[in-house]
Amino acid sequence: MKIAKTLGQFIIEKQADFPYAKGELSRLLRDIGIAAKIVNREVNKAGLADILGENGTTNIQGEGQKKLDVYANEQFISALKHGGECCIVASEENDDYIHLDTDVSTDAKYIVAIDPLDGSSNIDVNVGIGTIFSIYRRKSTKGRAVLQDVLQRGVEQVAAGYVIYGSSTMLVYTTGKGVNGFTLDPSIGEFCLSHPEMKIPKDGVIYSINEGYYVHFPDGVKKYIKYCQVEDDKTKRPYTSRYIGSMVADIHRNLIKGGIFIYPITASAPKGKLRLVYECNPMAFIIEQAGGKASNGYERILDLEVTELHQRSAIFIGSENMVHKAEEMMAYFSPQVTKKTFEGLVAIQ
């Protein structure tokens, strides 16, 4: 029986890809893996412990925080602080970024942006949820790291990944040299390499979008949805609609099977709803490394300027040909939503 390679072994093996890191990035990824195991343990017993339901607080986006949201946030921050390789952690659950200045992290070189529990509205109904993380090297060289160290474009990420807590728990990550997936083996408590060199198909037959907001979508999105629904043997249409409501779960499925995930601008969310720093950039980095494409409908996600910690963006992400087709329809049917007007758009008629 062949013994699977563990996440720790794989990280050490690939450490030579980053000679400047001197092991810090490897240790940082290890710390994230440890925190993910702790969160996974609580997720798996959520129906037995007093950890379901609302926490009674809201995050900066005005969204109600679940008890597990808060717990996951605390665990990842604690693991990163203890590890000492991270100088700043920026979390979707916190208003501002957090300095992790301790005796061991004074000279830490890495910034971590994290969505501790994506899809948390699904917690109470036992639907797949996840964690999304993104890692950058700090730019400043003197004193404490600053906000500009966090506000880097997605193309400057040195690593990104997600953990999906579902029928099995998987950690998928990239350091810019392909994508690899690790499944948690509960018998030994280790993430083991199960999906080496992951590649997303160029085409797919799944589209993922919350069609309940159809009337509020730009015309280009409406036209693309209709395109997906029209029968055509050559392009294997009609496509299948699959929407879980958890970005990690929807994109993980499409990464394996091929498909597109769309969260566009709407009349009530003219800048988009998903967070660029915590969700769009890391997932875009992963999907591009797997051979896919990620766009806001007009521009590459990873090239977007980041001006705010909790900046929002629309996203079209998944199989290359599917995203390209959606971009074509946005350009043709929604030309008013151009680069110049995208940020200032108030409503879509």
CATH number at residue 110: 3.30.540.10
Q: Among residues 170, 195, 220, which one ends one of the domains?
A: 195
Q: Is residue 302 domain-shared with residue 168, that is, in the same domain?
A: no
Q: Are 256 and 292 in contact (CB under 8 A)?
A: no
Q: Are residues 186 and 59 in the same domain?
A: yes
Q: Are residues 136 and 267 in the same domain?
A: no
92 is in an annotated binding site: yes
pLDDT on residue 348: 35
pLDDT confidence of residue 267: 84
243 is an annotated ligand-binding site residue: yes
Query: How many domains are contained in the chain?
Result: 2
115 is in an annotated binding site: yes
Residue 347 lies in a domain: no
How confident is residue 63, by pLDDT bands cut at 50, 70 and 90? low
Q: Is 308 annotated as a binding residue?
A: no
- Say if residue 181 is exposed, middle or buried (CB neighbours under 10 Å; 0-12, 13-18, 19+): buried
Residue 140 annotated as binding? Answer: no
| Average pLDDT score, the chain | 87
pLDDT tens digits, residue range 111-166? Answer: 999 999 998 777 777 788 999 999 999 998 888 889 999 999 999 999 999 999 98
Structural domain includes residue 200: no
Mean pLDDT across the stretch 203-232?
96
**Would you say residue 46 lies in a domain?**
yes
Flag whether 119 is marked binding: yes
Average pLDDT over residues 23-40: 91
* Same structural domain, 35 and 114: yes
**Within-domain flag for 1:** no
H helix or E strand, kind and range, residue 333: helix 320-333
* Percentage above 90 pLDDT, the chain: 67
Residues 41 and 63 in one domain: yes
- State whether 236 and 134 are in the same domain: no
Burial of residue 163 (number of CB atoms within 10 Å: 0-12, 13-18, 19+): buried
Residue 120, annotated as binding a ligand = yes
Give the pLDDT score at 343. 44
- In the predicted structure, residue 218 carries a pLDDT above the cut 50: yes
What global pTM score does this model have?
0.90
Enclosing domain of residue 124? 7-195
